[in-house]
Structure 1
Amino acid sequence: MLLDDHQRLYLSQLRRKLHALPEPGFLEINTANELYHILKSLNFDLEIGEAVMDTQYMMGRPNDTVLNEHIAFLEQNHFTIEKFKDGLTGIVATKEFEEPGPTLAFRFDIDALPIKESDSNHHQPYKANFISKHEGFMHACGHDAHMTMGIGLAQLINLNHLNKGRIKLIFQPAEEGVRGALSMVKKGVVDDVDHFFATHIGLNGKSNEIITSIEGFMASTKYDLFIYGESSHAGANPQDGSNSILAAATLIQQLYAIQRHEKGDSRINVGKINGGSSRNIIADEVKLEIEVRGMNNEVNQFMNDRVTDIIKGIENMFNVNIVQNKVGEAPSILPSKKLKETVYQLISNVMSELNITKDETTPSGSEDATYFIERVQELGNEGLYLNVGSDHQFNHHHPQFDIVEQDIFNGIDVLYTIAKHFNG
């Protein structure tokens, strides 16, 4: 273990503090302030706001009403909001060393999910009194652990001076819904990066296991669909209306009937529907929240094209107008093979007390760290997505999801070992 008992206690307390105030994407205002002040105390050069985020590419950004309501919640509960009131919650922390060398970047996601956390006596955060204090939101995907790994890595870099190159720690908002990474990529935060690393705790990895490359992330696109019809009295004048609910029902059936593709697995889901006002009024507006996924970018594009075709048909069939707003997207990527082999051999040799697996290719969810890796690879450099294993009784995105805190420290050790290898 590279961390002493005092450091591990501090990081455990930090993880629990972050867990207790989960904030959703582009609203991680208190979270970002906490991270900012810690990183500043560790002597990192910090960039925030529009210096690291291109607002044009912030997908699914909350409107001003939602932003102001969250700020009011923070103020009422005496949380810190000083630097990130605009919702531009990304942070890039950089430390440069004396000798020329490579630039490494490590990405950590910081947002939470709209899930009400369990108050079961079997749920460790409830038993240990660090359950979410933000009603209806929860760190149910391990991002509290990811941020803690980032701070632990920053501590080790600050204490054990490296010799060459640069280290960049990227704290990214709005990973859930794959909404936040593209804005940072478009701002150029990885254009100077030689080796890029992202990581996730849990997934298919077990406690004390490190998987050096996760390769099953699906490409995905998320949409809000707004169906606009014409309201009318359902009994007296039904012929004058255009029924958006009927259009939505037919649209949903057609979406789930999209054929499969020979090039790989695909997914489609309609996760939310809202519309109508009364039983005797033909509904003039419905909102759908949908997503498509593909095992690769070609399959995902096929799914997107079919969705667009179906929308056009529904518009003609029911005399409605459908507005299709993209609110999230992520590509599918492959890891850099040479980097995967280097990291696998390094971790296997240096951290023999852990179980090291080279790769995992089981089809999985989606992850917008792939935008960072895609950009780094476009520029001729390397990227990798690691899995820090951790036993969890309940799956990610479950109200009782939790991880084994000890595995956070394994993750920190792995990331610092990588940093020392390239920049030591």
Structure 2
Amino acid sequence: MKEKIMKVFEHLHANGEVSWKEIETTNYLVALFEEAGFQPKRFKHIPGFSVEIGTGSPKIGLRADMDALWQEVNGEMKANHSCGHDAHMTIVTGVMQQLKEMGDIGGTVRAIFQPAEELGNGSLSVIKEGVVDDLDYFYGVHLRPFDEISFPNCTQGIQHGSCVFVKGEIGGLDHHGARPHKGVNAIEVAASIVHHLGLTYTDPHIAATVKMTNLHAGTENFNIIPGKATFGLDLRAQTNAVMDELQHKVKTICAQLSAMYDVPIQLELFDYVPAAAVNEEAATLMAQSIEHVLGVPALSTIVTPGADDFHFYTIERPHLKATMLGLGADVTPGLHDPYMEFNHEAIFNAIEILTDVCLRTLQQK
């Protein structure tokens, strides 16, 4: 099986597609499953598909994210799988093939190949397709960096944080550099926003950050004071409650500075991703499977500042008992690095662990 699995991985790695454009990825995997005797069902309105094996309850879902990132690699802009989604698709494909060889598994396992995780909203579109509504348990998987988990160790869950981006616009008028009193300097307003963001405090026991990551103002003429500017903010918090607090503080800061400078400041929040809600029962089952397969105890749920739209599934469908396998793969230099590499043996560890946790969960009748 290893040779076949690695051919799947190599194809997916070499043919990445960015968010909402995973058309050929879908076609390739659908054909692969059809050749193996499955009956995959394409999503009606988006790229991606679901495929299942078995009948009856309990019903278990496996999520594989499909999209690549658009990055410069060796001087060429290309779709690049630097977040490991090529591995995730390969792993879930391998699990489904193993389960098929076992015959009657005593329940249902449904693999869901999801688009657009990198934009933080692909899962919401999959939820609208209705393919998770009848599931009882839901499992995901993600490669982990070498400095977070060393190969071959694995964690029973990943406590991702929440993330949201903010587009801001300062809407004043340009004026002469010799007459700064005639208007408002948008750069100074932006500097005030940065200053007050630095004075924004939340519970120090819960990790949270807010920072300006984008600012555009002015022209090539140095004697014009810019009245307009656009800026971007990156907000992150380890819990959804703190994220709500952080958003409120950002809105308050901008409203008060707008009043003080007498200039409009417009905000748009987008690409919100919630923090994880790891289910204790699902995490316990995952831990048992990790120890059974690897022969060493599972590591406890890790806390990471990264975000993943997997957690929309449990926000929108609270009945789901869900967790993500944190897969020790010695990812270097790190996730989203254009030259990311990892230990490919981790793929086979994950196939065995997720196969085991599916069978173990099917016994929870």
1:373 matched to which residue of 2? Answer: 314
2:263 matched to which residue of 1? Answer: 320
- Note if 1:189 corresponds to 2:131: yes
Matched-pair contact (CA < 8 Å) for 2:165–2:271? yes
Matched-pair contact (CA < 8 Å) for 1:209–1:354? no
Give the CA deviation at 1:299.
1.0
* Alpha-carbon spacing, 1:354–1:364, altered in 2? closer, same or farther (3 Å): farther
- Note if 1:268 corresponds to 2:210: yes
- Given candidates 3, 11, 14, the residue that maps to 1:17 is 11
1:383 matched to which residue of 2? Answer: 322
Matched-pair contact (CA < 8 Å) for 1:191–1:375? no
Query: After the TM superposition, which residues 286-301 of structure 1 pair with which residues of structure 2 at under 5 Å, given as runs?
Result: 286-301=229-244
Gaps of 5+ in 2: none
Matched-pair contact (CA < 8 Å) for 2:285–2:360? no
Matched-pair contact (CA < 8 Å) for 1:94–1:166? no
- Number of equivalences: 359
In structure 2, C-alpha distance between the alignment counterparts of 1:320 and 1:22, rounded to whole Å: 45
* Alpha-carbon spacing, 1:39–1:240, altered in 2? closer, same or farther (3 Å): farther
Matched-pair contact (CA < 8 Å) for 1:212–1:356? no
- Note if 1:30 corresponds to 2:24: yes
- Note if 1:211 corresponds to 2:167: no
Write out per-residue CA displacement over residues 332-374 of structure 1, whole angstroms, 9 at most, x where no aligned residue: 234221222223223423x1x4544142333431222111133
In structure 2, C-alpha distance between the alignment counterparts of 1:386 and 1:189, rounded to whole Å: 21
In structure 2, C-alpha distance between the alignment counterparts of 1:294 and 1:159, rounded to whole Å: 43
- Given candidates 42, 46, 52, the residue that maps to 1:47 is 42
Give the CA deviation at 1:222.
1.8
In structure 2, C-alpha distance between the alignment counterparts of 1:112 and 1:92, rounded to whole Å: 17
Give the CA deviation at 1:223.
1.9
Q: Secondary structure in 1 aligned to 2:158?
A: coil
* Alpha-carbon spacing, 1:212–1:336, altered in 2? closer, same or farther (3 Å): same
In structure 2, C-alpha distance between the alignment counterparts of 1:206 and 1:316, rounded to whole Å: 51
- Given candidates 333, 336, 347, the residue that maps to 1:408 is 347
Write out per-residue CA displacement over residues 95-142 of structure 1, whole angstroms, 9 at most, x where no aligned residue: 2524x22111111112223432358xxxxxxxxxxxxxx615432221
* Alpha-carbon spacing, 1:280–1:14, altered in 2? closer, same or farther (3 Å): farther
Stretch moving more, 168-177 or 292-301:
168-177
1:103 matched to which residue of 2? Answer: 59
* Alpha-carbon spacing, 1:253–1:37, altered in 2? closer, same or farther (3 Å): farther
Write out per-residue CA displacement over residues 22-62 of structure 1, whole angstroms, 9 at most, x where no aligned residue: 33322333333333333343423313143xxxxxxxxxxxx
Gaps of 5+ in 1: 51-87, 120-133
In structure 2, C-alpha distance between the alignment counterparts of 1:255 and 1:230, rounded to whole Å: 24
Give the CA deviation at 1:191.
1.8
Query: After the TM superposition, which residues 45-124 of structure 1 pair with which residues of structure 2 at under 5 Å, given as runs?
Result: 45-50=40-45, 88-89=46-47, 91-98=48-55, 100-117=56-73
In structure 1, C-alpha distance between the alignment counterparts of 2:269 and 2:242, rounded to whole Å: 17
Give the CA deviation at 1:151.
2.0
- Given candidates 223, 242, 247, the residue that maps to 1:280 is 223
In structure 1, C-alpha distance between the alignment counterparts of 2:214 and 2:307, rounded to whole Å: 19
Quick one: which amino acid aligns to residue 12 of structure 1?
M
Matched-pair contact (CA < 8 Å) for 1:265–1:295? yes
Q: TM-score, normalised by structure 1?
A: 0.76
- Given candidates 135, 138, 156, the residue that maps to 2:98 is 156
Quick one: which amino acid aligns to residue 12 of structure 2?
L
In structure 2, C-alpha distance between the alignment counterparts of 1:332 and 1:240, rounded to whole Å: 45
Give the CA deviation at 1:415.
1.3
Query: After the TM superposition, which residues 228-247 of structure 1 pair with which residues of structure 2 at under 5 Å, given as runs?
Result: 228-235=171-178, 241-247=183-189
1:170 matched to which residue of 2? Answer: 112
Quick one: which amino acid aligns to residue 351 of structure 2?
I
* Alpha-carbon spacing, 1:162–1:117, altered in 2? closer, same or farther (3 Å): farther
* Alpha-carbon spacing, 1:292–1:156, altered in 2? closer, same or farther (3 Å): same
